[in-house]
Amino acid sequence: MGKDVIIACDFNSAEETFAFLDKFTGKKPFVKIGMELFYAEGPQIVREIKKRGHKIFLDLKLHDIPNTVMKAMKVLSSLDIDMVNIHAAGTIAMMEAALTGLTREDGTRPLLIAVTQLTSTSEDRMQSELLINSSLEKTVMHYAENAKNAGLDGVVCSPMESEAVHNVCGKDFVTVTPGIRFADSAKDDQIRITTPAKAKEIGSDYIVVGRPITQADDPVKAYERCVEEFVG
């Protein structure tokens, strides 16, 4: 069963973000803060959203030398976020360093997940532009295994890869899957996509949903529909 729906708050200002979140007068949804909003508003946007009672997935996809990532994660951990991510392509050493930096003195930490391949990346592009000669599926599984070996909690992956990741890394290894659209939504710029109901069937643990909710005529209704289809 799906654990939760995460709304991608891909806005460019605090004002726009809070205008959207103010629509949710009941249940406070789990939200994702990405690069655009974090770079526009800084760490304060995280603190303000936490005050409102939301869980936060901070989607910054860190990818740098291990020492830099470790220090950055120590800062991000102090923001009381619930989930954060890095690129698995940064190597096991970088992922281990991220985990070290993220862990607080009392031993607690947010969930740490790794990006395998972005949902906008097709196998053809991966092979021709990134010069990765393996299949997309084999590459994703290898990155997932590396993340598990580094001690991470899970990976961001396409919904279509979620079942395979669980088969390779175990059922407790979390899969967070973007590329979610309702059956009657446009595909936009993401290639490897599926519906909330199908993601649940495949075994995704969390789904990340942006435009089908944020650009809906009634975002709360769209969110509730998504929760109904994915969590039940």
Counting beta carbons within 10 angstroms of the beta carbon of residue 186, is it exposed (0 to 12), middle (13 to 18) or buried (19 or more)?
exposed
Q: Secondary structure of the chain: what % helix, strand, coil (to 5)?
A: 45, 15, 40
Question: pLDDT at position 127, please?
Answer: 96
Domain ranges of the chain: 4-230
pLDDT on residue 232: 83
Is 61 among the residues known to form the active site?
A: yes
What pLDDT score was predicted for residue 190? 55
DSSP string, 152-175: -SEEE--HHHHHHHHHHH-TTSEE
Beta-carbon contacts of 105 under 8 Å, excluding residues fewer than 6 positions away, are none
Report the candidate in 108, 13, 112, 32 with the shortest Cα–Cα distance to residue 72: 112
Record the tokens describing residue 17, joined without a space.
Answer: 């973000």
Compute CA 229 distance to the chain's CA centroid, rounded to the nearest angstrom.
19
**What is the C-alpha to C-alpha distance for residues 80 and 83, in angstroms, rounded to an integer?**
9
Query: Are the CB atoms for 111 and 85 separated by under 8 Å?
Result: no
Question: Percentage of the chain with pLDDT > 90?
Answer: 83
Catalytic choice (61, 171, 200, 221): 61
CA–CA separation, 116 vs 87, rounded Å? 7
Q: pLDDT for 132-189, tens place per residue? A: 999 998 999 999 999 999 999 999 988 888 999 999 999 999 999 988 988 876 555 5
Size (the chain), residues:
232
CB 134 within 8 A of CB 123: no
Cα 71 from Cα 50, distance rounded (Å): 22
pTM: 0.92
* HSE value, Cβ hemisphere, 13 Å, CA-based, for 139: 21
Q: Which pLDDT tens digits describe the chain residue by residue (232 residues)?
A: 468 999 999 999 999 999 999 999 999 999 999 999 999 999 999 999 999 999 999 999 999 999 999 999 999 999 999 999 999 999 999 999 999 999 999 999 999 999 998 878 899 999 999 999 999 989 999 999 999 999 999 999 888 889 999 999 999 999 999 889 888 765 555 555 789 999 999 899 999 999 999 999 999 999 999 999 999 8
For the domain covering 4-230, report its CATH number. Answer: 3.20.20.70
Q: Which amino acid is at 12?
A: N
